Structure 1
Amino acid sequence: MQTWLDWYVSGSSKTLRRMCEQFPGTIETLDAKLHQRALTDDAFAFRLIVERSRYALSAAASTYAGYPGAKKMASEIVVWGESLAPFCLQTGQAPLAAALDRDVVRELTGTRLSPEVRRYAREAVARHRTVYLDIADRALLFGDALHVGALFVAEVESGLRFTAVFGEVGHKAVRRLTWLEGGDWILTDQHHDENIRKFHAHTGMAVPALRPLTDIARDAGIELREVLEGLENFAYLATTYTLTEMEHAERQPWEMLPYRPANHECRHGRKSSAAAKKFSLFRVWRVSARHLDRGERNSGTGGWKLGHRVRVSGHYRLQPFGPKRSQRRLRWIAQHERGPRDGPPVTPIVRIGAFHHQAAL
């Protein structure tokens, strides 16, 4: 599979078939031809599943109101469907999708960023409405048990919404975590909840007991909020680098992953399985670290000067370049000291438990 999202779509027809067995009438509104297609065409079944996720809350409120936790589970399904909708439904705007190789993930993980990088990334999300970051297998680890396979960033009424998809190392089992920027609102997949497992058992779906993500973070020596903050910074940096590097390269786009849409002839017939492995269903940029600038710092000049020496930690910033300095590129500013050399030193305050490079992910 070209991306984690392609892997997730594969097998959707089988998933829909199981849903029809457990919940008769799931696709009863389709005519015979479309009904048959839904049970054999993964891309078509994926779209139907996402469409029907909108009604999860109403179903939980009526049919499954007696099961504690069902409403919370349904809320997570609705939010997950909203994250996937731009990739299979007509939403009016094409999402930005980037597949990040291992090197670029390593360079951008656990580093600080300037306010201008954060602002640039937020504006990019506002333009595209949804940003999808596909992360190389095992490149971004969460404790010893899970790795991050994908990140979704979406603009919603209440701000920016992040969804992280975790998988077991060496497997593709999915755990999901959704939160609003700043971590004031967090929604998990609820698979650790005993009531949810009872609900799934009633519907005939075997769901193993899974540990809460907060416990996994604690065992790794960190707090879940620090993980979320690190993922937010990583998403901002990856989005900024993906877009500004195209400007730096005279607006030449990144190479795209091999792509064939769902209606392409190769996706139907006997060779459809082979096509699913070779071609992505989505338009995804292949992003590498070959142009990522982590060179030496350029000393700047300005009218204001420090009266004492301070230590500035390493961070990413947007560097102006091009005609009239109208373009931007992501540049690493190495740790350095500022201020007059004969000025009194200032001892930096180190916050215990800070999000250090590769410490939380």
Structure 2
Amino acid sequence: MLTWLDFLAHQALSSLTERDRTTDPRTALALSIGRISKAVQDGRFGFPNGILDEIFYTLLVPFVAPYAPAGATMTFSDGTAFERPLGLILSRQTAGILASAKPLDIADDLWREPLGSRRHVYVDVPPGAMTLRLDPSTTDVLHVRAILAAPYLPFSMPGHTQLLIQVTAPGSERGLGRIAAVLTPEGKVTLNGNENGRLACDEALLPPHAHPEVHKAVAGYAGTFFRLVMAYYFFGPHESREPVAVTPTERLNKGKPRNGQSLFAVTRLQPSPKLGRPPSTISASWSLTERQQVDGHFKLQAYGSNRSQRRMIWIEAYERGPADASPRPKGIAV
């Protein structure tokens, strides 16, 4: 299977009763989420992990809503239908470049504006591309496997973005734990908490199972990574985007998508050497006579032995040209 979301949906098939039997794992996941949500609404039980489970299922619903069984509808609480979420899958090389990028502050407005009205985002990270140690004194590592995001949550915090970070064990799709975090407009990452004061984080990522600071490290690492992914998607080279075909229900192979396809609509982000400003086409020397605004952009920076390696950095918008020159006139759309 191509993505962790594919794996999660396929796992839902085994949890269905005979009455709900289906061959499409997307429908199985929709049934599973719907059954749990209905039980919580009816007061039959609460989410075992409090706000962590609530965030998790809330962020999953828009992906499975189109595959809900006949007669069932999934909408926002105000009755608005779900818009197609943005699904991204990173190639191993792209994930490696972004994961090793120089830490930087990317204002959320930079990517929230082009995201438009889409309320949900899924980022799939290849196994092993983002790793952290559970404890500095051991060799045990964890993998950041997927990130779910909702730019409209929490409701009480406009301009913030809710994150759900899925961590897996090395070499496995088996979930090791989840961490809920929030991106703040000024570029920081904070952690969610339950009503009882406990962090919105699975037990496996808390002491004594892990180092006391590992959940903070994962949230900060994944939050910065998510911002880089969004900036790369919206402002990187267009040729880096590669739509992935969705396998229809009738072509599934025992509930699995066809080779190279996915159960859900995603776009693969490939690496590209075309980063930064395009090369000049002017052969003769030249100089600027006006002040010009240069938009923010990605650039591959040389480093390492003989400057033979490359890492991705973000160049903030700036002005160039003679300091005492007049600004270059800008066109205004009317």
Which of 56, 59, 75 aligns to 1:80? It is: 56
How big is the shift at 1:135?
0.3
Seen in structure 2, the aligned counterparts of structure 1 residues 226 and 253 have a Cα distance that, compared at 3 Å, is closer
Q: Cα RMSD (Å) of the superposition?
A: 3.7
Seen in structure 2, the aligned counterparts of structure 1 residues 75 and 224 have a Cα distance that, compared at 3 Å, is closer
How big is the shift at 1:168?
0.2
Structure 2 gaps, min length 5: 67-80, 134-139, 184-188, 281-286, 303-312, 316-334
Seen in structure 2, the aligned counterparts of structure 1 residues 10 and 292 have a Cα distance that, compared at 3 Å, is farther
Q: TM-score, normalised by structure 1?
A: 0.61
Seen in structure 2, the aligned counterparts of structure 1 residues 184 and 9 have a Cα distance that, compared at 3 Å, is closer
Say yes or no: does 1:147 pair with 2:143.
yes
Q: TM-score, normalised by structure 2?
A: 0.65
Q: Secondary structure in 2 aligned to 1:10?
A: helix
Q: C-alpha separation between the residues in 1 aligned to 2:276 and 2:191?
A: 33
Say yes or no: does 1:37 pair with 2:21.
yes
Map of 1:11 onto structure 2: 11
Q: Secondary structure in 1 aligned to 2:87?
A: strand
Seen in structure 2, the aligned counterparts of structure 1 residues 302 and 241 have a Cα distance that, compared at 3 Å, is farther
The superposition leaves residues 22-70 of structure 1 with CA deviations (integer Å, 9 ceiling, x where unpaired) of xxxxxxxxxxxxx3534x44221111112233235446xx545xxxxx6
Say yes or no: does 1:266 pair with 2:240.
no
- The count of corresponding residues between Structure 1 and Structure 2 is 260
Map of 1:180 onto structure 2: 182
Say yes or no: does 1:285 pair with 2:292.
no
Map of 1:254 onto structure 2: 241
Map of 1:212 onto structure 2: 206
Map of 1:96 onto structure 2: 86
Q: Which amino acid aligns with 1:233?
A: T
How big is the shift at 1:278?
4.9
Say yes or no: does 1:237 pair with 2:228.
yes
Say yes or no: does 1:129 pair with 2:131.
no
| Residues 96-115 of structure 1 aligned to structure 2 (within 5 Å) | 96-109=86-99, 111-115=102-106
The superposition leaves residues 245-276 of structure 1 with CA deviations (integer Å, 9 ceiling, x where unpaired) of 2xx44xx67222232234xx213xxx444645
Seen in structure 2, the aligned counterparts of structure 1 residues 239 and 185 have a Cα distance that, compared at 3 Å, is same
Q: Could you say which structure has the greater relative contact order, defined with CA pairs below 8 angstroms and 6 or more residues apart?
A: 1
How big is the shift at 1:228?
1.5
Structure 1 gaps, min length 5: 21-34, 65-69, 193-209, 305-317, 321-327, 337-361
Q: C-alpha separation between the residues in 1 aligned to 2:289 and 2:300?
A: 20
| Residues 152-167 of structure 1 aligned to structure 2 (within 5 Å) | 152-155=148-151, 156=153, 157=155, 158=157, 159-167=160-168
Q: Secondary structure in 1 aligned to 2:14?
A: helix
Q: Which amino acid aligns with 2:146?
A: A
Map of 1:330 onto structure 2: 298
Say yes or no: does 1:54 pair with 2:48.
no
Q: Is the 8 A contact 2:47 2:54 kept in 1?
A: no
